[in-house]
Amino acid sequence: MKKILHILRRKNAEAKPYWEDFTYETTDEGATVATALASTPVVWEHSCLQRRCGACAMVINKTPALACNTRLSEISTDVIQLEPLRKFPVIEDLLVDRSVMMQNLRRLSVWLEEEARTGSEGMAFEAARCLQCGLCLEVCPNFAAGGAFAGMAAMAPMSRLIARLSEGERKRIARAYQKGVYSGCGKSLACRDICPAQLPIEELLVRSNAACVWKRWKTAGSFTSVGD
């Protein structure tokens, strides 16, 4: 199989972007965009190579995806166009700065201050699978870096807390959730379809809304989705 990687490169944030092509040939049926990129001098972020760390998010043929989760054999075109994510500042080539995601979680006080209660393991498990890859933010019509709305990338870690927190912490988290997630979410659910971890985003959202907005905290316990 032979593919041409058509990559939008730039030396740094200020430099003028330019396109460069690299040919990649392989007999490996399992080869991914990540495998191909590894053979180029292009700068990109990678770590696990098995869709478990969220590092390699980029725009592949105009669709945001994980490079290591996109098989070359499943791309119908011979030319594969690669661009950095657009919602985050570019550092170099396909490497972007997603620090805003960490900042949002700090701003929304995403942590426990008291002991977690037991129960709702299912919801906590699914929520904690979030990779912090940022693909959901990339496709969200309502997310902009620097805005009040922190998107599904904040909803998921918050719903981990919502599943497990003790009564004393409800107010703090509910307030942060309303401010950072609920009030900004337009329910387009574009995030649900793009999420490479296939988080049960809709159910997490419904349960978290029920708890934080409608004060129905018990609903987290009856979580049913299994994410695969």
Partner 1 sequence: MNTKTMAVNIIGAGLAGLSAARAFAQEGVGVRLISFQPSERAQSNLAEGGINAALDVMGEQDTVQEHFLDTMKGGCDLADPNMVWNLTQAAVGLVKDMDRLGVPFHREQGQIIQRNFGGQKKKRTAYAKSSTGKMLMAALIDAVRRYEAAGLVERYPHHRFERLIVKNGKVAGAVIYDRFRKEKISLSGAVLMACGGMNGLFAGETTGTTANAADAQAALFAQGIEFSNLEFLQYHPTTVAITGKRLLISEAARGEGGRLFYYEEGATDRKKVYFLEEKYGERGNLMPRDVISREMTMLGKQVYLDLTGLSRETWAVRLSDLREEILHYLGVDPARESVPVSPGIHYFMGGILVDEQHRTNLPGLYAAGECACAYHGANRLGGNSLLGAIFGGRKTALSMMTDGCCAEEDEENSEEAHFAEGSSEADQCGEEDWAEDNCEEENQVRGTITQILMEGMAPLRDQKTIEAALKKLDALTEASRASGRLKHTLLLARAFLLSALERRESRGAHTRLDYPKTDAALKKNTIVCCADGQIRLSYREIPVLRAQAEDG
Q: Is residue 22 within a helix (H) or strand (E), and if so which, with residue range? A: strand 18-25
Cβ contact 134:54 at 8 Å: yes
Q: Per rule CB under 8 A, is residue 151 in the interface with partner 1? A: no
Side chain identity, residue 108: L
Contact of 52 with 79, CB cutoff 8 Å = no
List the structure tokens of 147: 């805005």
At closest approach, how far in Å is the CB of 24 from partner 1? 12
CA atoms within 13 A on the CB side of 202: 9
Q: What would the x/- binding string for ligand FES be over residues 44 to 63, using CB under 6 A?
A: --xxxx-xxxxxx-------
Nearest-10 Cα torsion for 35, 36, 41, 44: -60
CA–CA distance, 120 with 217 (Å, rounded to integer): 11
Segment 22-51, which members bind partner 1 (CB under 8 A)? 28, 30-32, 34-35, 38, 41-43, 45-50
Pick what 176 binds: ligand FES, partner 1, ligand SF4, none; C-beta below 5 to 8 Å, kind-dependent.
Answer: none
Handedness of CA 24, 30, 32, 36 (dihedral sign): negative
* Residues of this chain that bind partner 1 (CB under 8 A): 12, 28, 30-32, 34-35, 38, 41-43, 45-50, 52-55, 68, 91-92, 95, 97-99, 102, 105-106, 109-113, 115-116, 118, 121-122, 124-125, 128-132, 157, 160-161, 163-165, 226, 228
Q: Which residues bind ligand FES (CB under 6 A)?
A: 34, 46-49, 51-56, 66-68
- Applying CB under 6 A, which residues contact ligand SF4? 54, 130-136, 152-153, 156, 191, 194-195, 197, 199
